Chain A
């Protein structure tokens, strides 16, 4: 689904991704863990075509990509962002939010697809004409997921999809994403600071640090701490939580 070689991305003059290779198979769920500033969100934004200052080779679904993405790219690749408060237009109803991708991609307004997309994420028609501020954080993230999935993309990019949510809501959203992936046979690339989220959601993962993958492992090794790289081991130890001294 994704093949990247010698990928470099910059913010201004600063290199945030340095010479990175990435291979994600069709139908796979691949996780990227790292701390703030590691470049993990920028990597997703390069794949999504949102970050333009990059070089290297990138192929998505067998198509070589340039800075400008081809027509219909939005039907293949969609993205869900961290903050459902910031990623939905505050003055658009759920109906309008979900209609947007249909209109942009030339399918026209389709009421049944909107209702279907809502049902897919566990919402119903009663949520359709509400504004984002009338929804809970979890419901908003469900709407953001419905918007990303309404065109049935092959590849879904998830940038800390549950970091802004309470633990019980996080569990619901992760279960929803797992179910939808199975139903629709999607490929996931999920970025998170949480090792636990990645081990719950993915089959393979990379530990990212200062713009590079310092280690790539199957998630069992991530869960068990079977890691060779010094930074990856440090992150694993820190993620196991606080232990009181006395």
Chain B
């Protein structure tokens, strides 16, 4: 069996300043959580996988997806199609000048080569599948007319449209209220299971990652400092992981 994703010595550099220092990771169709504080390089790692780095960044090392080493030429056929990224705040990532329905239909026409009428019907079906109460109405809305939770559901519908194998979710609920975040996570949980996808969940929230994922990678200053099973998080050895665990505010005493 080939691995779904394998990273070897992945580095990201801005001129002489290195922000990701040789990261390695091998994963199948499983749930990997990446935790760490701001500046740890979590998002940079997610973006390095799909080669979508900020201007001025250089990438080195090997990223292999489904047995193929990714490069600037072959990433286009996979990014969005087989590897999808769900960002933190959909209102900044959706096209502000296009209705939600048109954006999802465009994804379907490009990645699944559907005709316009089929794309429209499939769009409504997808919006319905992310438990949107009124798919027809939402499809006619522009992103700024949506609440955070509805926008994130629309984003998830759009990212799942090409039926990807790997989902990279970068703090998918950090911009949302707790009562809304729960529904989004339950939706992601159900879809990842149903579609047998791999997922990389990037989050600053240890408790969330521990309950959502199978394995957890702890990052600090551009390096993975500890890898462990999610169920073993409480027994973490690395001082930084212990520090993160200690800094959590618990509702319970």
- What residues of chain A have their CB less than 8 Å away from a CB belonging to chain B? 35-36, 137, 166-168, 170-171, 174, 193-197, 199-200, 223, 234-235, 238-246
Contacts and interface: CB of A to CB of B under 8 A. Distances in A.
B252 A241 contact: no
Contacts of B193: 245-246
Contacts of B253: 223
Contacts, number: 71
Contacts of B148: 36
Size bin of chain B's contact surface: 20 to 34
A168 B244 contact: yes
Interface of B: 37-38, 148, 177-179, 181-182, 185-186, 189-190, 193, 204, 207-208, 211-212, 243-244, 246-253
B211 A244 contact: yes
Contact of B251 (A36, A168, A240, A246): A240
B211 A167 contact: no
A168 B211 contact: no
A196 B207 contact: no
Given A238-B182, A240-B251, A241-B208, A168 B38 contact: no
Which of A166, A196, A197, A235: most chain B Cβ within 10 A? A166
B118 to A, nearest CB: 32
Contacts of A35: 177-179
A167 B181 contact: no
Contacts of A239: 178, 251
Contact of B212 (A166, A199, A234, A244): A244
B204 A36 contact: no
B201 to A, nearest CB: 11
A196 B177 contact: no
Nearest to B35: A167
Contacts of B243: 168
Nearest to A174: B249
A243 to B, nearest CB: 6
B239 to A, nearest CB: 12
